[in-house]
Copies of this chain bind each other. A is one copy, B any other.
Amino acid sequence: MINKGKLFVISGPSGAGKSTVIARLLKRLDNTYFSISATTREPRRGERNDIDYHFVSREKFESMIANDELLEWAEYVGNYYGTPAAPVDEKLNAGYDVILDIETKGAAEVMKKRPEAIGIFLFPGSFEILEQRLRARGTDSEEKVLKRLDQARRECEKVDMYQYVIINDRVETAADEAVAIMTAEKCRTAERKHYFV
């Protein structure tokens, strides 16, 4: 008997280190699938279709919206971004756990559609640390850093929507916590009732 996989939604402000933690997670856990977003924006240099994104036309994306084929979607600087439901459900039904990396608004949409989803919020530990990290990148203007911080504060106000918070002050500890959460969720009594027969 194969149990269905579990759906995990990971959010966190820009600079929280989501991609690094998720990369470690995927290395350590078997049967885990990282969802690929669909977008209408042009591929950047080095980006591969169906690996980094599903690059689709505006018409295609709009038909996906019309047919309710997306778990969540948003328009950002003139381009659509969204999570196609079909590959997620396919993987879940095959027993894979699925990870979505989405911002708080998309997360809220997913959790409404899939109330069984497990929400995990990644945070660097304090807004001071977040600010240091954003400045240390050296890529953003002062204005952009302040805008990102403001955005982060607004995202953090939604933290109660998530069941778990991971503090990413050390990436190793954060990955340990993420693995622990995903392992623990597989130990839920409802997941293991079939042993008692």
Contact = CB atoms under 8 A, between A and B. Distances in A.
A164 to B, nearest CB: 5
As for how many copies of this chain the complex holds, the number is 2
A140 interface: no
B196 A123 contact: yes
A191 B164 CA distance: 9
Interface residues of A, number: 29
A58 to B, nearest CB: 38
Interface in A138-196: 156, 159-160, 162-167, 176-177, 179-181, 183-185, 187-189, 191-193, 195-196
A82 to B, nearest CB: 26
A96 interface: no
Given A123-B195, A126-B195, A195-B126, A187 B164 contact: yes
Contacts of A191: 165
Nearest to A185: B184
A192 B164 CA distance: 9
Nearest 9 Cβ contacts at the A-B interface = A184-B184, A180-B183, A165-B192, A180-B180, A181-B184, A164-B187, A180-B184, A156-B196, A165-B189
Interface of A: 121, 123, 125-126, 156, 159-160, 162-167, 176-177, 179-181, 183-185, 187-189, 191-193, 195-196
